[in-house]
Amino acid sequence: MFHSIISDDSSKKKQPKAIPVTLSTRIRLARNLQKFPFPGRAEVSQKRAVLSECISAVSGIKSLNNSVSIEVDDLSELDRQILVEKHLISPELSQVEEGSGIILTEDRSCCIMINEEDHLRIQVLRPGLDFSSVWKDADALDSGIESAVNYAYDGDLGFLTACPTNLGTGMRASVMMHLPGLVMSKNMEKVINAVNHLGIAVRGLFGEGSDANGSIFQISNQQTLGESESAIIERLNSTLESLVKQENNAREKLLQDDRNRLIDKMSRAVGSLKTCHLMQSSEAMDLLSLVRLAADFGMLPEKFRGLADRMFIEVQPGHVQLSAGHAVDPSERDELRAALLRNHFVRAPFLDLSSSS
Amino acid sequence: MKCHHCENQATVHLTQILNGQMHKMDLCESCAQAKGVTNPENLSIGGLMEKVDLEVDSTNPSMVCESCGTTHQDFKKGGRLGCDACYHVFRPVLDPLLDGMHAGTKHLGKIPSGSESRIQFEQKFNQLNDQLKHAIETEDYEKAALLRDQLRDLEGKAETAR
């Protein structure tokens, strides 16, 4: 069942319509069990005990009826890479040795990591921007698990976590944002500094220390203690709203000041995707970013926004190998990636410049 | 706002991003100068925090969690605690760090339902205990006896609940 979940082509499923700027919303709750040392200090036998306690705790939860639980140990290198590329597990969990696990729902909207940095990392994710429903689900899941285990909790400090930066609510709320306007107008650094001052962190596509390929950034709360979950979400939301506004202003300005150059870039991106023969993933990300931008401007049909989002993930090295069905070396990968993109973009139209002026 | 190092009013407010985490520190003018904050060339909150830690260290040289074996050195090096008991052991060095790390130092979020009763118990217990101390101090022995009985009752209830 695990392989059918991760290799399942999401294009066949009914997906909510992709919207401009915000790609996806996620909430992650860090929790630990009482009486066990945190994973970083635990013996393998203790980790195994935590793993089985957590797996039995979720077995009674209705929303997890259609889910699989797997030990990370039992997954191949490629499977782990796929999960990282789909943003379901952290690169850290993919590297762990014995005694860690994953609980993943069939629709991939929920993935619980067991024995990562904390005993439990409960994650709920959705396309688009939707904190209220994501929080509702994460909260319910957390309460369900809590009814079967005893969490490490302190009246003053809240949920106790391995790293004090997660203390309190243990909550990291984040959105994946597509900000090509701010990147092209060279305003991103300014924006990062400004939101940092508000206790909001900006990271690259794959979290801490990763590049912001394709102008995609992860925006999340930095602080977890001293505020309620709803106050954190509210603060993050208002920052996001202003980021969306600034991104849209930057786009408008680019279109006004440098219209021909911008249109040229987007047109060439479509052209390259139609005709390429070798394509590295970083270049693909940048071209797809321009395609998404053109769809936002109304210069490409709406469906190309959703296609770009799917391709952002499918051009990653693990996914290219998954669709090839065998391990492939990087140069062959570039060829396969190019073929995949050509296939999807072969009928892409010329940019429609009538709708915007 | 008080200075991170002494009781004076803080006038220098420092924010730095270290390993992707924001750290804030408030210092009075003389401490800021003593710690070299006025010289931005060799300024690092990490270094400042180490100094705070060292000062605490010297008053409490053998800071180690008996439950999991994590030492103060481990915590300083990796920034991770080893178990829930560590939060008691390292509280003195943790508190000043939390102050700069988070929006506040008191949890205002979700309370697990299982522990709600425990927290209420602890609050009630502490409250009665404080009243008892006060009654003894003021030599109100009648009240003290009453409070002592109430505390015994409460403990008994907690025992049977377990």
What tokens were used for A75?
């997954």
Contact B81 A162 (CB under 8 A): yes
Query: Nearest Cα to B88, choosing from A100, A324, A152?
Result: A152
Residues 258-297 of A with CB under 8 A from B: none
Asked if B161 has any chain A CB less than 8 Å from its own CB, the reply is no
Q: What is the pTM of this model?
A: 0.79
Q: A218: which strand partners?
A: A176, A203
Contact B97 A146 (CB under 8 A): no
Q: Return the residue matching tokens 């425990």.
A: B118
- The residue of chain A nearest to residue B102, with distances taken between CA atoms, is A223
Q: Quick: pLDDT tens for A185-197.
A: 999 989 999 999 8
User: Does the pLDDT at position B56 exceed 50?
Assistant: no
- At B51, is the pLDDT very low, low, confident or very high (cuts 50, 70, 90)? very low
User: For position A267, what pLDDT does the model report?
Assistant: 97
What single DSSP character describes residue A17? P
Residues 80-139 of B with CB under 8 A from A: 80-84, 87, 94, 97-98, 101-115, 119, 122-123
Longest dimension (CA), chain B: 65
- At A93, is the pLDDT very low, low, confident or very high (cuts 50, 70, 90)? very high
Q: Quick: pLDDT tens for A228-246.
A: 999 999 999 999 999 999 9
Interval B91-114 mean pLDDT: 89
User: Does the pLDDT at position A270 exceed 60?
Assistant: yes
What single DSSP character describes residue B17? E
User: Does the pLDDT at position A207 exceed 70?
Assistant: no
User: For position A335, what pLDDT does the model report?
Assistant: 95
Q: At CA A143, angle to CA A140 and CA A148, rounded to 5?
A: 135
- The residue of chain B nearest to residue A160, with distances taken between CA atoms, is B84
Smallest Cβ–Cβ distance between B82 and the set A37, A197, A222 belongs to: A37
User: Contact at 8 Å (CB) between A228 and A135?
Assistant: no
Asked if A32 has any chain B CB less than 8 Å from its own CB, the reply is yes
User: Does the pLDDT at position B64 exceed 80?
Assistant: yes
Smallest Cβ–Cβ distance between A165 and the set B21, B111, B112 belongs to: B21
What tokens were used for A284?
């693909």
* Best to test chain B binding among A47, A222, A235 (most B CBs inside 10 Å): A222
Asked if B77 has any chain A CB less than 8 Å from its own CB, the reply is no
Q: A202: which strand partners?
A: A219
User: For position A17, what pLDDT does the model report?
Assistant: 81
Interval A139-152 mean pLDDT: 92
User: For position A341, what pLDDT does the model report?
Assistant: 97
Q: Quick: pLDDT tens for A247-266.
A: 999 999 999 999 999 999 99
Q: Quick: pLDDT tens for B21-48.
A: 556 677 777 766 666 555 444 444 455 5
Burial class (CB in 10 A: 0-12, 13-18, 19+), A130: middle
Pairing of strands A67-71, A101-105: antiparallel
Provide the CB-side half-sphere exposure for A92 (13 A, CA): 12
User: Contact at 8 Å (CB) between A116 and A39?
Assistant: yes
Contact A203 B20 (CB under 8 A): yes
Most confident of A147-156, A169-178, B18-27, B67-76: A169-178
User: Does the pLDDT at position B83 exceed 90?
Assistant: yes
